[in-house]
Amino acid sequence: MKRHAIIAANWKMNGSLSLIKEMVSGLNSIVLAENVNVVVCPSFPFLSAFALNAENENLQANIYLGAQNVSEHKSGAYTGEISTDMLNEVNANYVIVGHSERRSLYKETSTQVAHKVKTVLSAGLTPILCIGESEAERTAEQTETVLASQLQPVIDEIGIENFTDVVIAYEPVWAIGTGKTASPEMAQATHLFIRQFLANADKNIADKVPLLYGGSVNAANCEELFAQTDIDGGLIGGASLKVDEFKIICSSAKGS
């Protein structure tokens, strides 16, 4: 089954206008394998700057702009929130939804995340749906239960048929920003579970969904991770703030 490989950069609350320029220039100089897309998700104030720099630099077509979050509401009295219409106006294509930091720090529930996925799809944008377990949940052998509880509300909300337009990022919470990384074998086993869980609803759809791994991915471990059968790329945190390292990661991705 042909799936896009996707490398997505999540800058979180980091970055600057100068990094935007450096990143656009750096990405324009790399050669990507066929069927590989790159997505850069800077903070909201820098979305327009990325789009403008990308246009001025004539950035190659398979490099896209993404946002780190979005409101499930279309408009209204929601101070500080960002709508899908706003993201469309700045030429964003992807949106990270349900990141573990949004779930833990801002108490987003899996039901709310499901509503956001539906809103993103309705606006013609592509959601990068984040799921993952804590270290305590992994130790208690609850990983599959937790992932199922995060996926099922989205399936119920949008229907399995719409997962052809969804990207899933598996991020074990214990590996985000800690320097810890799931072994390639452990990551593959979990990605296989995710694909099989989707296949319970529709196998043909499950085979088409890109599954990304996130959690301290760097230039040293990316190639082995991306070589796994069900790992179709990565959601990259800290390493995506280092242009040279991020370029290595992007160049290591191989479209299946």
Among all residues, which ones are annotated catalytic? Answer: 99, 171
Sign of torsion over alpha carbons 221, 227, 229, 233: positive
Q: How far apart are CA 59 and CA 54, in angstroms?
A: 5
- Dihedral-angle region of residue 49 (phi above 0 means left; psi in -120 to 50 means alpha; beta otherwise): alpha
Angle between helix 17-27 and 243-252 (nearest 10): 40
- Written as one letter, the residue type at 60 is Q
Question: Which backbone phi and psi does 241 adopt, to 5 degrees?
Answer: -90, -5
Question: Are 143 and 137 within 8 A, CB to CB?
Answer: yes
A 10 A CB-CB count for 2 gives 8
Residue 62 CA to residue 36 CA, distance in Å, equals 7
Instruction: Concatenate the DSSP letters of all residues of 83-136 into one string.
Output: -HHHHHHTT--EEEES-HHHHHHS---HHHHHHHHHHHHHTT-EEEEEE---HH
Q: Cα–Cα distance between 94 and 57 in angstroms, integer?
A: 20
Q: How far is CA 65 from the centre of its chain?
A: 12
Compute how many other C-beta atoms are within 10 angstroms of the C-beta atom of residue 151: 20
